[in-house]
Amino acid sequence: MYKILKSEKLADKIYLMEVEAPRVAKHCQPGQFIIVKMDEKGERIPLTICDYDREKGTVTIVFQTVGVSTTKMAELKAGDYFSDFVGPLGCASELIETDIEELKKKKIVFIAGGVGTAPVYPQVKWLHEHGVDADVIVGAKTKDMLILEKQMEAVAGNLYVTTDDGSYVRKGMGTDVLKDLVNNQGKTYDLCIAIGPLIMMKFVCLLTKELGIPTVVSMNPIMVDGTGMCGACRLQVGDEIKFACVDGPEFDGHKVDFDQAMKRQQMYKTEEGRAMLKLQEGDTHHGGCGNCN
């Protein structure tokens, strides 16, 4: 059992929880994810790690209520327990494996959309702790949907906030801010890391390809089972078939087929759609064994 030490509502339908999970906290890295289950019969829910404290033995998660399981999960309070809290899973951010002195020479920009701010935060925090400054663009639909602003401000080199409706700071998308920084403010970047809804990451990648900025995206939004066995997070990356949960969740954004990923995400929601995908994709439908039934 894994005790919930803190439960907080950050915005409409967005919640933060700090969970006592010493073994996970000891080994996790920015970019990885965990799987939670509320009880023995509960649904497996993959969630990217928002923060961790190795000394306290805690892991922080942020999630949005989108279905029955996450709605029930939002009702849990401090003092309640998760039945399972499995991780760390997936591959850590490629930044972790890069020489620190090399990272200090790079100009890095993060673009976070909505709940994507949560998995961006630990990467920016890790860079900050290692003496590397990064610019961060955070976008939200409205001011009320903005999360982790103060935390991000404390670790970002420069923080740029934008809202779709213009209710806070500026009006526009994250791509509008990046375009302004590069075209009007003379900023140059060696790497962009974008995390958010698929459609947001798609348009970020279209822009960064035009600007010549290598871009990494996190495909955690398409994960379902988290082990590569369900086939939900199958995606085309260049000429290869990859699975977000076992090969990622981070990939070269300029190679990801976002249109295919979004189409599969919609089809996967129905039993008929899953059956059709299995028929069309054959042995490549699953990630773990490739042939499970």
CA distance 35 to 40: 13
Which residues fall within 8 angstroms of residue 280, CB to CB, at 6 or more apart? none
Closest alpha carbon to 219 in 192, 237, 206: 237
Q: In what order do the strands lie in the sheet with 45-53?
A: 81-82, 2-11, 14-20, 58-64, 45-53, 33-37, 84-89
Q: Give the CATH H-level superfamily of domain 2-89.
A: Translation factors (2.40.30.10)
Which residues, in sequence order, are bridge partners of residue 151?
none
Q: Is residue 249 reached through a cis peptide bond, with omega within 30 degrees of 0 on the bond before it?
A: yes
Q: What is the overall mean pLDDT for the chain?
A: 88
Residue 136 has pLDDT above 70, yes or no: yes
CA distance 193 to 38: 31
Q: Is residue 221 reached through a cis peptide bond, with omega within 30 degrees of 0 on the bond before it?
A: no
CATH of 99-218, one of 3.40.50.1220, 1.10.3720.10, 3.40.50.80, 3.40.190.10: 3.40.50.80
Q: How many Cα atoms occupy the beta-carbon half-sphere of 6 within 13 Å?
A: 13
CA distance 166 to 288: 44
Residue 42 has pLDDT above 80, yes or no: no
* Per-residue CA distances from 40 to 1, 19, 151, 185 (Å): 11, 18, 34, 54
Backbone angles phi, psi at 126, to 5 degrees: -65, -45
Closest alpha carbon to 98 in 195, 211, 216, 249: 216
* pLDDT for position 14: 93
Greater confidence (137 vs 245) lies with 137
Worst-scoring range by mean pLDDT, 39-53, 92-106, 201-215?
Answer: 39-53
* pLDDT for position 178: 97
Q: Which amino acid is at 196?
A: G
β-pair type (58-64, 45-53) = antiparallel
CA distance 166 to 133: 27
Read off the pLDDT of residues 64-85 as tens digits, 9 standing for 90 and up. Answer: 988 888 889 999 999 999 999 9
CA distance 287 to 293: 12
**Percent of the residues in the chain that have a pLDDT greater than 70, as a whole number:** 88
Read off the pLDDT of residues 216-260 as tens digits, 9 standing for 90 and up. Answer: 999 887 777 666 666 677 888 999 888 888 887 899 999 999 888
Instruction: Give the residue range(s) of CATH 2.40.30.10 domains in the chain.
Output: 2-89
CA distance 152 to 38: 29
Instruction: Give the residue range(s) of CATH 3.40.50.80 domains in the chain.
Output: 99-218
